[in-house]
């Protein structure tokens, strides 16, 4: 039996209900005659406070509130990939089809279609004993994703029936028996989004999530299962960076959560993402992507929902043994929603009006990243890497959302509108960005790429740092005031910036650099640096030691295709012979 209460008070996205017996924090409710979706966030005596995921205009006191006795949960199963959802995981295309351009309220559209039949291939047989997380079979969800059907975390037992053939997600495809209890397994399982999905063991992060973007992979790498933050001042190239990561990062599944960004930016995402091609297969990138879209004109409470649905989707695919990358754009809009709800709840505000629990909420979101041994008997390893965008007002990184984020994430890609203005792309500021993973990943670079990878990276950073200091001096005393050594530093720094860090996302070759190519490019520039330094030792006039023909060749390096990397070895040979 459902408990029914009534609306006492309405305050924007917050409702106070009365008479809801047995209400529990985070239980779902249906509100008013329209049956809007809401979630209980506070209980104070008789008063039950509910955040409503849909627009509340028109609701009136005394309208009914029905308690659903379960936390907000989402459906997980075949049919997720390629879809575009709202924050509570209703498929947007179906909602638009039903209602034209305007999303009506209170409509119930299941996340997963019941019409689609999926060809289920069983991988277990009757009599097998299964543990939580074991795979019972798979479905080719798209050309790029084999969807593993797993025993849910709360079930186990002996297989007493296993089917094969075409079924919808709601049909029973396997039955387990455990101490005379029978458990029906369907292709669809439900999971409460606020609860992290279980796994066997968290692993150390020792492998990079490679992106093909030189400034990221070489200088500020993110580990598979790691966390990164990226601020996006307007026009700084954030969208292009996000697209590049979605296209080129070596993650199997991409989840993009558009959280509270302006409607037109989200429309861009909805239009642009489906246009992107997966470079490896040539197929649409959507064949391994899920979009969750919550624009700023949707109710603020739904932003929170979109964050949790997004991360739950990511964990679900992680549990299949995939490497998942999730981007949330932007977590600042979520924080603003928390601030608004906090003030309506009349909580004591913290810094800049944000609730005091902003830090712990942020941390617990990023803690759902990681690389794990999943549940299930056959050892599977999956990972969730989180890239959270922040939108600091006025680009001021000292504000609370950015600060709380930087406290927990290990990588910061400081997008810089000044660099974008100079058309230096990707406009990631090399002096302000950092990655705390490098030491952990170093072994990977050493073993897979070259023993001196870390050395070259350090050298590169040093040159760029030295440049910063020298530019000051040049401003004061002019270039003539510099020693020849320092002139070389400036020269090499310029080469590093223009011919290494700058990377054209729209050039067919330059858009992606393998780690091997990145390494060889660094080696070339280092060899030229050594050459110049040696010549100076020979007491030659600075202007005479430069080799314009080599510099021309260095400029072309980024356009050398991946299948011609011996070009670099020849060139390095020439540079070191002299
Ligand atoms: P934002 O999302 O921050 O407003 P965009 O990502 O749309 O900015 O980038 C703005 C413009 O900057 C793009 O249209 C493109 O011309 C240029 N741009 C950004 N990044 C790159 C890149 N890596 N390579 C080449 N051009 C870029």
pLDDT tens string, the chain, 578 residues long: the values are 668 999 999 999 999 999 999 999 999 999 999 999 999 999 999 999 999 998 898 999 999 999 999 999 999 999 999 999 989 999 987 766 655 545 567 777 899 999 999 999 999 999 999 999 999 999 999 999 999 999 999 999 999 999 999 999 999 999 999 998 999 999 999 999 999 999 999 999 999 999 999 999 999 999 999 999 999 877 888 889 999 999 999 999 999 998 877 766 667 777 888 888 998 899 999 999 999 988 666 788 889 999 999 999 999 999 999 999 999 998 999 999 999 999 999 999 999 999 999 999 999 999 999 999 999 988 999 999 999 999 988 888 899 999 999 999 999 999 999 999 999 999 999 999 999 999 999 999 999 999 999 999 999 999 999 999 999 999 998 888 899 999 999 999 999 999 999 999 999 999 999 999 999 999 999 999 999 999 998 888 888 899 999 999 999 999 999 999 999 999 999 999 87
373 close to ligand 1 (CB < 6 Angstrom): no
CB 485 within 8 A of CB 534: no
Among 236, 240, 416, name the best residue to mutate to test ligand 1's pocket (greatest count of ligand atoms within 8 A of Cβ).
240
- Pocket lining: 240 vs ligand 1, CB cutoff 6 Å: yes
> Which one of 216, 236, 237, 276 would you pick to mutate in the ligand 1 pocket, going by the greatest count of ligand atoms within 8 A of its CB?
237
The rounded Å distance from CA 437 to ligand 1 centre is: 27
421 lines ligand 1 (CB under 6 A): no
Nearest to 217 by CA among 428, 70, 431: 428
CA torsion sign for 257, 260, 262, 264 is positive
Residue nearest to atom 20 of ligand 1 (CA): 237
User: Omega into 426 within 30° of 0, i.e. cis?
Assistant: yes
Report CA(503)–ligand 1 centroid distance (Å).
Answer: 11
For atom 5 of ligand 1, the residue with the nearest CA is 237
Q: Residue 536: how many CB atoms within 10 A of its CB?
A: 17
d(CA 511, CA 443): 26
CA 349 to chain CA mean position, Å: 29
Q: How far is CA 21 from the centre of its chain?
A: 39
> Does the Cβ of 238 fall within 6 Å of ligand 1?
yes
Rounded alpha-carbon distances, angstroms, from residue 333 to 261, 280, 307: 7, 33, 11
Closest residue by Cα to atom 12, ligand 1, is 237
pTM of this structure: 0.95
Measured in Å, residue 267 CA sits from the centre of ligand 1 at 17
Q: Is the CB of 426 under 6 A from ligand 1?
A: yes
Which residue, judged by its Cα, is nearest atom 13 of ligand 1?
237
Torsion angle (degrees, nearest 10) of CA 93, 96, 98, 104:
130
Is 511 touching ligand 1 by the criterion CB < 6 Å? no
Q: Is 504 in the pocket of ligand 1 (CB under 6 A)?
A: yes
Question: Residue 506: CB within 6 Å of ligand 1?
Answer: yes
How many angstroms is it from 238 CA to the middle of ligand 1?
7
Residue with tokens 């990977």: 444
């Amino acid at each position: 039996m459902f408990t029914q209460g009534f609306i006492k008070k309405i305050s924007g996205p917050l409702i106070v209900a009365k008479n809801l017996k047995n209400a529990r924090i985070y239980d779902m409710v249906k509100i008013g005659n329209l049956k809007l979706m809401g979630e209980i966030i506070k209980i104070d005596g008789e008063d039950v406070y509910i955040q409503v995921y849909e627009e509340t205009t028109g609701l009136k006191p005394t309208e009914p509130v029905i308690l659903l006795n379960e936390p907000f949960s989402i459906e997980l199963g075949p049919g997720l990939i390629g879809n575009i959802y709202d924050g509570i995981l209703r498929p947007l295309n179906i909602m638009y089809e039903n209602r034209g351009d305007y999303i009506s309220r209170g409509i119930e559209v299941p996340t997963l279609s019941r019409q689609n039949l999926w060809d289920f291939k069983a991988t277990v047989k009757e009599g097998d004993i299964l543990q939580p997380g074991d795979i019972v079979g798979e479905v080719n969800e798209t050309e790029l994703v084999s969807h593993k059907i797993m025993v849910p975390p709360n079930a186990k037992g002996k297989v007493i029936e296993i089917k094969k053939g075409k079924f919808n997600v709601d049909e029973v495809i396997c039955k387990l028996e455990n101490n005379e209890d029978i458990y029906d397994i369907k292709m669809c399982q439900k999971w409460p989004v606020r609860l992290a999905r279980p796994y066997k063991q968290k692993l150390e992060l020792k492998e990079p999530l490679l992106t093909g973007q030189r400034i990221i992979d070489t200088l500020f790498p993110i580990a598979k299962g790691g966390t990164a933050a990226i601020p996006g001042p307007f026009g700084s190239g954030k969208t292009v960076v996000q697209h590049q990561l979605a296209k080129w990062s070596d993650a199997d599944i991409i989840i993009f959560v558009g959280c509270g960004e302006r409607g037109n930016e989200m429309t861009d995402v909805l239009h642009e993402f489906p246009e992107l091609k997966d470079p490896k297969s040539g197929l649409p990138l959507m064949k391994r992507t899920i979009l969750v879209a919550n624009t700023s004109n949707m109710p603020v409470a739904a932003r929170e929902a979109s964050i949790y649905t997004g991360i739950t989707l990511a964990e679900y695919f992680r549990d299949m043994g995939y490497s998942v990358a999730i981007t949330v754009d932007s977590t600042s809009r979520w924080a603003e929603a928390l601030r608004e709800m906090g003030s309506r709840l009349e909580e004591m505000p913290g810094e800049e009006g944000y609730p005091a629990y902003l830090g712990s909420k942020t941390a617990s979101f990023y803690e759902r990243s990681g690389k794990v041994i999943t549940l299930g008997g056959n050892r599977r390893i999956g990972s969730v890497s989180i890239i959270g965008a922040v939108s600091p007002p006025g680009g001021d990184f000292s504000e609370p959302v950015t600060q709380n984020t930087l406290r927990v994430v290990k990588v910061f890609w400081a997008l810089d509108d000044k660099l974008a203005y100079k058309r230096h792309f990707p406009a990631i500021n090399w002096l302000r960005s950092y990655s705390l993973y490098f030491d952990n990943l170093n072994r990977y670079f050493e073993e897979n790429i070259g023993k001196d990878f870390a050395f070259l990276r350090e050298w590169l950073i040093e040159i760029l740092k030295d440049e910063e200091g020298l530019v000051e001096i040049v401003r004061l005393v002019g270039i003539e005031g510099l020693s020849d050594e320092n002139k070389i530093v400036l020269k090499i720094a310029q080469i590093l910036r223009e011919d290494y860090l700058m990377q054209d996302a729209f050039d067919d070759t330059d858009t992606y650099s393998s780690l091997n190519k990145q390494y060889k490019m660094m080696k070339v520039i280092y060899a030229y640096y050594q050459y110049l330094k040696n010549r100076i030792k020979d007491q030659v006039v600075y202007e005479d030691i430069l080799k314009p023909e080599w510099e021309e060749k260095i400029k072309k390096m980024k356009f050398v295709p991946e299948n011609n990397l011996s070009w670099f070895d020849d060139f390095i040979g020439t540079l070191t012979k002299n």
